[in-house]
Structure 1
Amino acid sequence: MSDDGSSRNEFSGTAANVVQAHSIEGGVHFHAAVAALPVPRQLPADVPGFTDRVTHLRRLHDWLDTPDEQAPPAEVVAGPPGIGKTSLVTHWAHQVRDRFPDGDLFVDLRGYHVERTVSADEALSDVLRALDVPDERIPARLEARAALYRSLLHRRKMLVLLDNASSADQVRPLLPGTSTCRVLVTSRSHLGGLIARNGAHRMSLDVLPTEHAVELLAGIVGDGRVAAEPGAVARLVEYCGRLPLALRIAGERLAEDPRARIGELVEELAEVRERLDVLATPGDESTAVRAVFSWSYQALSPDAARAYRLLGLLTGPDVGLPAAAALLGTGQGRARRVLAELTGVHLLAEQERRYRFHDLLRLHAAECAEADEPPAERHAAVRRALLWYAHAVQAAVDAVIPFFSRIPVELAAAEAPVPAFEDRAAALAWCDAERANLVAAVDRAAELGEHELAWQLPVLMFGLLLVRRPHADWVDTHQVGVASARVRGEVAAEAWLLTSAAIAERELRHPERALEHLERALACWQEDGTRWGIAWALRDTGAIYEQMGRYDEAVAAFERALAMHLEDGDTWGEATALAGLARCHLGAGEPERALAEANRALEIRREHRDQRNVGNALNDVSRVYLGMGEYEPAAEHAEQAGVVLAEVDYWNGRALSHELLGDALAGLGRAEDAAAQWRVALELYGSLGDPRADEVRARLADG
């Protein structure tokens, strides 16, 4: 042994006999002595109704089947609180415990229990007692205890389960140092030091797939009750975030009263602020979701705890590093380090520097913010993030659609660096990644009384909405923006948002609602005196009348707008009005006139080098040729449009190009080629939630 003489004197009695047999008389006598030691069987009871985790169980079986000399010294099962780490390792251990004839040890290290964390010193003391070492023979020093532990386990075939470890230092002294034993560790931490220094392997747990979450619930309350209320079960699984602990608590509450409807519990869970109260087991605070989360929160450093609770104030699905830094009021380097602490203990999930809460953890974080963060600090943090989003979306949309007039938007100075986008593609990629967060930011701004930001954000988002056409988001953000503009008395902002919202309503096939928006918008534009705004509202009024087949009214509206654009020398607006007139004249049976208008609009777009609208104009020309029954030029223009619009990643325009090309190919008798184009159009329209998907689907069905 490597300890000094005084340490060896502590190894008297039972343990000393073992060690002396090993050090003096050789391996044969050592094995005889070991055989006399007890065979501990310390596994907790198996988990009833264990569900899923097939892949993880298979990996553990593969680990066990690995030759001893090749197996890693420990397997770490990591994941957020309540994810089922202990259930998994306990269930697997019961399946394989017969392969460990010398016994199994179980130590709850209570790594995130604030009051009763178990040190490696204490854990070794408990383990040595389980191995029949009397208290008076247990060494005083940690190193000596670990050495005796390793000696007792040498060449024994034992399974060691170390549950709920918080750090590598808590685990290392409990590694047996012999390849014949297997060590399984659970932790909310990544335990990176154990992986790097000791060669341990790690696998992470995530929430259950929906079908297995339902299966877990059925195992507790019975298949009949689950089958009787499938809708309520689906909502219950959603409210529990597919977290095994939450599902078990919910299931146990239902099991206590067989007459209770699942829907009644769902109604309780629907109240967000009370959800963590509902997900608790009466009389057993240690298994309540809130308590389990709180242990992790209270173990955080002050900076990480502040970050945790402030992140809970954001309502988007995730957050990027720059936005998180803005929220926290720090540089990105410091924010990254703080967020790494949260991901390291699985309170946040991270992928490519985007960070996401489990839904229940987000609720807990928000509760912590309300309890532990002063109201002024909460408001200031969220405002920093909202303002950063406003500046970032302005920069992105300026790169995506630079040719559109916009009402003045005067933003307060950003407190964090705003991203610079090298090209349109980079800006669009950012917009796609952040769209759900931007939608949430509009709602959050209004909730906080930041009405200026609540109307500025949707105004700035117009380019993103126009290019990607997420109609539901478009309508929702603009409803909020209009209300906030009215609170602030911002007439031009109200006019803008109503005119913009009418586009979405038109494309959702809600023409009457769109006309109501435009009637109010025109009154606001006229009150504000913005000529291009009046012309915009007139053009969109014409577009709705054209959609309704009211061509005379449509032409009158487009011609009023065209006259204003010609008087003002606005060739961009002129091209837009001409495109609308072309559609009207085509619908009214005047294709030659429509072709001249569509070609003039295309000429202007090419002069402007506005590629998105060049593609749109090519589509317009293709549509006119289709109406004339001239399928070759119709196909040619639609194909050209598709190429241009693919280059600028304009999904809505690309969908129309494929639809028109399919129509032209069908006219040429090329049914299979037409169907292929329609299928692409259907996929694009479907991704946008565009009702035109139904029209294309009907073509495919007829074909």
Structure 2
Amino acid sequence: MNVMQVPIALQFHDREQEQADGTQILADPQTVVVLVLTGVPGVGKTTLAQQLALKLREQFPDQLWVEFGGTEGALSVADALTDKLLALGMRREELPGTERELSAAFRSRTASRRVLVVLDGVVKREQVQPFIPGGPGSAVLVTSTSQLSQLKLDGARHVHLKGFGAPDAEGYLRLLCGDRVGDQSLSALAEVCDGLPIALRAAAGRLITDPDRVTVDQLVAQISGTDAQAFTVDEKDQPAEVFDLAYHGLSPQAAELYREWGVLRFESASPDMLSAREDRSGAIAQLVEAGLVQRRGNRLWMHRLFRRHAEIRGETDGVDTEAVLRGALTWLLAGASAADLAKMGEGRYRCTPVREHLTSEFADAEQAMAWLDAERENLVLAVRRAVELGWNELAWQLAETATTLYVNRRYLVDWTETSELGAKAAGLAHNTAAEARLRSFATRAMVDLGDRELAQAELTEAQRLVETTDDLRLQASIHELWGRFWDATDHGRAVTAYTSAIELFERVQDLRGVAFVTYFLAAAQHANGDHELALTTVDRALELITDDRMLGRAVTTQASILAALGRLPEAAARFDVAIDLLRADPFHEAVTQELRGDLLDDRDALRRAYELYQSLGSSRAVELGLRLN
């Protein structure tokens, strides 16, 4: 199945030469091309990139879209790679942890595809290189306000965009305004907007929405006579006069919402969030009509020039910053709490009183994950802002509820950052359990990222903290996480940790915890060479586990233990049972078939595993195919 993520450009105009140049550069089927579109903010780089992608859909049937937002730290390369690998069909269980490994997986995954990767808002070379596809005939299209000159050393081609010349600027205004301007001359208006597309859109929005039907000449006079407060973005002066005039043409309600968005600093927002306190649909419609906000699917998007201008207008005209931010962050916490419950269930250990935050509930886990995916960037920003403002309770609860997204999508960098911030906030709020939970749970991400030293330090501190509480379930959870930590390097210590976790889970009658950790213990004993003991342990786990997928994995472990003990007919029978249990989970069925093939020298099982991996688009199919041949 092809992946088509690049948004379609709305009201694209001209750029014929740049289109021709870009199309020619990207059309090389013999290599992987990197094309960089540069220019000042608001000049139309993103729109041109979207138009090029649309024109080249036949050449590039797979098109990936990454928004870096034009600022460092807005989106990590590792988490962006994770997102694209998931879009390309890689299973969560197959995802590696480090950026280097993810980039290698991305090259492998794209080696046989013709893919166009669009990286929007890049600020440094290091954001580009990991996304270069693995096979000829693919391309990377970059937009940036920086020149990114170092990429030229890697063979990248550059196209620099300038503002529209007079004829094209006037043509763009007529396209935007339609009959509203009639045969009025637009040359002066184009000139005061410096030919900058974003300024031209703002001016056109003012003409279209002005209730007094101001003439073009009157609008030019107003722009020229505006004593606007200058502002800069990326150290470049911006056309504040045009933005101010568009702003002053808004109704009081729309102007207030515009200023509030500046306070939020979110690139995109849900209409539901903006209308959380009162119905703002009219104000939203006016912002869209004025060209200050765009609709993208079921979300609203504001260019960062407008966001910066809105922030300045808030400083000038006033906005209740605390009320706006607290309202938005509380709305996000309510949604994240509902998503946490819908996806992870009531039985999950959590410190956040999620039911107290609910304003509505999701119909199912799929709907909950879709909401979390849409709010992913805002959740990270929300944790940062809450910490900055000293809203410690909000900060740690946002961080904890967001882990539902991270543990299911493996956005490891976001997970570690928000957990570190949340743990700090929990400590300042004197919530020892929450601090210990956030520190310990994030070690799963740290280990996958290859930072075992940090993970060990965090687990040590979490254990010190939890020993000052009487929360036995949290103590059990931390011992379980110690077991996971030692699984890779010291099976004996893993066995000790899992044994301690089981004892504590039994004391609080957490049967699910006992069941799962008993299975983990059996696997650790098996890896440690204690096969007889492991068999007894896994038998006990099978009596406790009720989840079909986990049951199938536990039976697989049981079969592996029997094979290690030389009881091959029994192992074969248990592999049959495991495979039946895992029919609804093709990836884990494939893993079990492959294990059966290896342990029992069963080529039919290996062939079945190969077929399953191939149907899933798994990278394991390549390696297994080579073995079979």
Smaller-chain TM-score range? 0.5 to 0.7
Structure 1 residue 483: deviation in Å?
Answer: 1.2
Residues 449 and 566 (structure 1), Cα distance of their counterparts in 2 relative to 1, 3 Å cut: closer
Structure 1 residue 438: deviation in Å?
Answer: 1.5
Q: Does 1:83 align with 2:44?
A: yes
Tell me if the contact between 2:372 and 2:405 (Cα under 8 Å) persists in the aligned partners.
yes
Alignment of 1:212-361 (within 5 A): 275-276=232-233, 278-280=235-237, 288-326=238-276, 329-331=277-279, 335-361=280-306
Residues 642 and 496 (structure 1), Cα distance of their counterparts in 2 relative to 1, 3 Å cut: farther
Tell me if the contact between 1:400 and 1:464 (Cα under 8 Å) persists in the aligned partners.
no
Tell me if the contact between 2:336 and 2:372 (Cα under 8 Å) persists in the aligned partners.
yes
Match for residue 475 of structure 2 among 508, 531, 534 = 534
Tell me if the contact between 1:595 and 1:624 (Cα under 8 Å) persists in the aligned partners.
yes
Letter in 2 for 1:473: D
1:652-685 deviation per Cα after TM superposition (whole angstroms, max 9, x unaligned) = xx755544444445653255543454457775xx
1:350 partner SS: strand
Whose radius of gyration is greater, 1 or 2?
1
Alignment of 1:380-529 (within 5 A): 380-410=323-353, 418-529=359-470
Tell me if the contact between 2:515 and 2:541 (Cα under 8 Å) persists in the aligned partners.
yes
Residues 605 and 628 (structure 1), Cα distance of their counterparts in 2 relative to 1, 3 Å cut: closer
Runs of at least 5 residues in structure 1 that lack an aligned partner in the other structure:
1-45, 57-79, 88-158, 176-184, 195-272, 281-287, 645-653, 684-692
State the alpha-carbon separation in 2 of the partners of residues 371 and 701 from structure 1.
Answer: 67
Letter in 2 for 1:384: G
Alignment of 1:585-604 (within 5 A): 585-604=525-544
Tell me if the contact between 1:316 and 1:441 (Cα under 8 Å) persists in the aligned partners.
no
Find the counterpart in structure 1 of residue 513 from structure 2.
573
Tell me if the contact between 2:257 and 2:283 (Cα under 8 Å) persists in the aligned partners.
yes
Match for residue 556 of structure 2 among 601, 622, 627 = 622
1:426 partner SS: helix
Find the counterpart in structure 2 of residue 266 from structure 1.
none
State the alpha-carbon separation in 1 of the partners of residues 397 and 508 from structure 2.
Answer: 27
State the alpha-carbon separation in 2 of the partners of residues 636 and 363 from structure 1.
Answer: 60
Structure 1 residue 86: deviation in Å?
Answer: 14
Structure 1 residue 49: deviation in Å?
Answer: 9.3
Find the counterpart in structure 2 of residue 379 from structure 1.
322
TM-score (norm 1): 0.54
Structure 1 residue 340: deviation in Å?
Answer: 1.8
Tell me if the contact between 2:552 and 2:578 (Cα under 8 Å) persists in the aligned partners.
yes
Runs of at least 5 residues in structure 2 that lack an aligned partner in the other structure:
1-12, 24-40, 49-167, 186-196, 209-229, 564-570
Structure 1 residue 362: deviation in Å?
Answer: 2.6
Structure 1 residue 430: deviation in Å?
Answer: 1.7
Structure 1 residue 436: deviation in Å?
Answer: 2.5
State the alpha-carbon separation in 2 of the partners of residues 387 and 86 from structure 1.
Answer: 34
Alignment of 1:13-162 (within 5 A): 50-52=17-19, 82-83=43-44
State the alpha-carbon separation in 2 of the partners of residues 531 and 401 from structure 1.
Answer: 21
1:458-517 deviation per Cα after TM superposition (whole angstroms, max 9, x unaligned) = 122333333333222211110110111122222111111112112222333433332221
Letter in 2 for 1:83: G
Residues 435 and 404 (structure 1), Cα distance of their counterparts in 2 relative to 1, 3 Å cut: farther
State the alpha-carbon separation in 2 of the partners of residues 701 and 330 from structure 1.
Answer: 61
Letter in 2 for 1:586: H
Tell me if the contact between 1:499 and 1:518 (Cα under 8 Å) persists in the aligned partners.
yes
Structure 1 residue 82: deviation in Å?
Answer: 4.2
Residues 700 and 358 (structure 1), Cα distance of their counterparts in 2 relative to 1, 3 Å cut: farther
Comparing both chains, which one has the higher relative contact order based on Cα–Cα distances under 8 Å and sequence gaps of 6 or more? Answer: 2
Q: Does 1:171 align with 2:106?
A: no
State the alpha-carbon separation in 2 of the partners of residues 343 and 383 from structure 1.
Answer: 25
1:129-168 deviation per Cα after TM superposition (whole angstroms, max 9, x unaligned) = xxxxxxxxxxxxxxxxxxxxxxxxxxxxxx9966636766
Residues 598 and 356 (structure 1), Cα distance of their counterparts in 2 relative to 1, 3 Å cut: farther
Letter in 2 for 1:321: P
Structure 1 residue 359: deviation in Å?
Answer: 3.1
2:173 partner SS: strand
Letter in 2 for 1:619: R
Between stretches 634-643 and 342-351, larger displacement belongs to 634-643
1:600-656 deviation per Cα after TM superposition (whole angstroms, max 9, x unaligned) = 4344331xxxx4xx3234223324434655467447625633625xxxxxxxxx755
Structure 1 residue 532: deviation in Å?
Answer: 0.7
State the alpha-carbon separation in 1 of the partners of residues 622 and 425 from structure 2.
Answer: 39
Percent of matched pairs sharing the same residue = 24
Tell me if the contact between 1:635 and 1:660 (Cα under 8 Å) persists in the aligned partners.
no
Structure 1 residue 560: deviation in Å?
Answer: 1.7
Residues 556 and 633 (structure 1), Cα distance of their counterparts in 2 relative to 1, 3 Å cut: same
State the alpha-carbon separation in 2 of the partners of residues 507 and 669 from structure 1.
Answer: 32
Tell me if the contact between 1:379 and 1:448 (Cα under 8 Å) persists in the aligned partners.
no
Structure 1 residue 453: deviation in Å?
Answer: 0.8
Q: Does 1:583 align with 2:523?
A: yes
1:165-202 deviation per Cα after TM superposition (whole angstroms, max 9, x unaligned) = 67666335779xxxxxxxxx9855998x99xxxxxxxx
Letter in 2 for 1:615: R
- Counting matched residue pairs gives 435
Structure 1 residue 304: deviation in Å?
Answer: 1.7
Q: Does 1:674 align with 2:589?
A: no
Tell me if the contact between 1:162 and 1:171 (Cα under 8 Å) persists in the aligned partners.
no
Find the counterpart in structure 2 of residue 260 from structure 1.
none
Letter in 1 for 2:510: D
Query: Over aligned residue pairs, what C-alpha RMSD do you find?
Result: 4.2
State the alpha-carbon separation in 2 of the partners of residues 86 and 578 from structure 1.
Answer: 55
Tell me if the contact between 2:383 and 2:395 (Cα under 8 Å) persists in the aligned partners.
yes
Residues 293 and 574 (structure 1), Cα distance of their counterparts in 2 relative to 1, 3 Å cut: same
Tell me if the contact between 2:432 and 2:465 (Cα under 8 Å) persists in the aligned partners.
yes
Tell me if the contact between 2:396 and 2:426 (Cα under 8 Å) persists in the aligned partners.
yes
Tell me if the contact between 1:579 and 1:617 (Cα under 8 Å) persists in the aligned partners.
no
Tell me if the contact between 1:304 and 1:342 (Cα under 8 Å) persists in the aligned partners.
yes
Residues 562 and 336 (structure 1), Cα distance of their counterparts in 2 relative to 1, 3 Å cut: same
Letter in 2 for 1:51: E
Letter in 2 for 1:466: V
Tell me if the contact between 1:578 and 1:600 (Cα under 8 Å) persists in the aligned partners.
yes
Between stretches 316-325 and 438-447, larger displacement belongs to 316-325
Alignment of 1:640-651 (within 5 A): 640-641=581-582, 643=584
Tell me if the contact between 1:495 and 1:521 (Cα under 8 Å) persists in the aligned partners.
yes
Find the counterpart in structure 2 of residue 118 from structure 1.
none
1:287-343 deviation per Cα after TM superposition (whole angstroms, max 9, x unaligned) = x354444443333222222212212333444211211223xx322xxx222122222
State the alpha-carbon separation in 2 of the partners of residues 410 and 595 from structure 1.
Answer: 39
1:355 partner SS: strand
Letter in 2 for 1:325: S
Tell me if the contact between 1:546 and 1:584 (Cα under 8 Å) persists in the aligned partners.
yes
Letter in 2 for 1:341: Q
State the alpha-carbon separation in 2 of the partners of residues 449 and 564 from structure 1.
Answer: 35
Residues 535 and 294 (structure 1), Cα distance of their counterparts in 2 relative to 1, 3 Å cut: same
Q: Does 1:364 align with 2:345?
A: no
2:406 partner SS: helix
State the alpha-carbon separation in 1 of the partners of residues 293 and 542 from structure 2.
Answer: 50
State the alpha-carbon separation in 2 of the partners of residues 385 and 643 from structure 1.
Answer: 40
* Between structures 1 and 2, the one with greater helix share: 1
Tell me if the contact between 2:264 and 2:324 (Cα under 8 Å) persists in the aligned partners.
no
